A = this chain, B = another copy of it.
């Protein structure tokens, strides 16, 4: 096998056999670029050094790393598009909104650098003026420029919530990012739900509301669904080695994970990366069966079978578990994939002729106890041409609303927007929603998480290769787990594993 059949791409790059891994370190060639963007080619009969399952950010980053090392790679993507949980939606006038992941913030250097290299520019999330707080029918506005939640009146429990979140930050420092199950108190933290922590660390309904809302917003799941240990890991992972994470960096805008947006939409990163990979990326190719044979894998997709030395599966564990494997997965890996469900998010956006809330000194950001959309953002394009209000329907609200008629969901979300931003919100030009739990190739957003007990007994199955199959995807990241940045890092880590093998 001499670098695979994919010979129309990779001009000028020395092909090297995957065997003889010592060669890999010496290859520092420019990325092979295909002239053709034709990616609906069949995969059948192809050979490659590496086959990547999934063309989200993780799979594309993995494939790029493999290609840069001079190895051949084929990416099999189930959907007719690349990007996975990252997806642009055109809204006319050349503008787009994102219906999937969209923001980046400080310490998310991997995705930021990659976007810059791909020529995708950034702009700041609109964050001028006051936020809206709405609970028990009481609507307040406040300035977000005080410490976390500090501008909310103490009678609403913000101080109490701040203490609870500070305690979580403190506990998170005990958790090793590459092995949360080895934390000194891992058995205690993984023995309980995040809800149990919240109950023990908040006394007022207002305090509990704020902490619940914050935790729920991380996962699009309820605090009862999530292991406290996973929450601590997730907090700690919201940063890099030099600058470990904290809760504020997860949930805030300024100086945090919602700070920055991409011009042209976040999917532009995936589209440009895929364009460079050219024919290596095969769309409409759901993988059904991965067979490990002596010295290679056979990856069977709806668009044919690829033979490769190694496979990188980038799907969330819940979906990776639905692929058929021969030989079957070992017990620990299989049972792990039974135990990392996806969150439940419906991203709802209303488009208006202009961002009218800005006139009243509002940033478009709000938290509310009403639901279904309890958290909002101003998601207007850079020039603020059309105004876009974004509402997240998460956790139990998403689960309940998912099976209601579309018109009912729309009405309920617009009612939220009216309560928060006034009557002008009632009649948008357009309403766009995306229920990721309904998407066959995602089946839930934002991310896979673990219930109590799972990290302790199955954590090592997250990344440990099974024979010639390696695992990537944002759920496997140790830095910015669950985020675009983690996805990119995980793909590169899996590529490095594969390149280090013979």
Contacts and interface: CB of A to CB of B under 8 A. Distances in A.
A338 B335 contact: no
B224 A335 contact: no
A457 B193 contact: no
Contacts of A438: 328, 330-331
A396 B224 contact: no
Given A318-B338, A341-B335, A453 B224 contact: yes
B224 A452 contact: yes
A376 to B, nearest CB: 22
Nearest to A321: B322
B193 A452 contact: yes
Contact of A192 (B193, B222, B332): B193
A225 B452 contact: yes
A344 interface: yes
Interface string A454-479: 10111000000000000000000000
Contact of A225 (B321, B437, B451): B451
B191 A191 contact: no
A402 B191 contact: no
- Copy number in the complex reads 2
A152 B330 CA distance: 39
Contact of A190 (B224, B331, B452): B224
A174 interface: no
Contacts of A458: 399
A454 B454 CA distance: 15
Nearest to A188: B199
How many A residues touch the partner, as a band?
35 or more
B331 A344 contact: yes
A222 B453 CA distance: 7
B335 A399 contact: yes
Contacts of A403: 330-332
Contacts of A400: 457
Contacts of A204: none
A443 interface: yes
Interface in A435-457: 435, 437-438, 440, 443-444, 451-454, 456-457
Given A196-B192, A338-B318, A396-B457, A332 B402 contact: yes
A344 B333 CA distance: 12
A369 to B, nearest CB: 16
Given A224-B456, A342-B338, A451-B452, A399 B192 contact: no
A372 B13 CA distance: 54
A318 to B, nearest CB: 5
Interface string A466-495: 000000000000000000000000000000
A193 B453 contact: yes
Which of A199, A223, A332, A335 has the largest count of B CB atoms less than 10 A from its CB? Answer: A335
B451 A328 contact: no
A285 to B, nearest CB: 15
Nearest to A319: B338
Interface string A170-204: 00000000000000000000111101100100000
Interface string A381-409: 00000000000000110011011000000
A335 B331 contact: no
A192 B328 CA distance: 33
Contacts of A338: 318, 338, 340-342, 443-444
A303 interface: no
Interface in A327-370: 328, 330-332, 334-335, 338-342, 344
Given A331-B443, A400-B457, 8 more contacts: A190-B224, A191-B199, A193-B453, A225-B454, A331-B344, A331-B402, A335-B399, A396-B456
Listed from nearest, the 8 A-B pairs whose CB atoms lie closest are: A451-B451, A331-B437, A338-B341, A225-B453, A224-B453, A191-B224, A331-B402, A191-B195
Interface of A: 190-193, 195-196, 199, 221-225, 318, 321-322, 328, 330-332, 334-335, 338-342, 344, 395-396, 399-400, 402-403, 435, 437-438, 440, 443-444, 451-454, 456-458
14 contacts: A191-B223, A191-B224, A193-B193, A225-B451, A225-B453, A318-B338, A322-B322, A331-B344, A331-B438, A331-B443, A332-B402, A335-B341, A335-B344, A335-B437
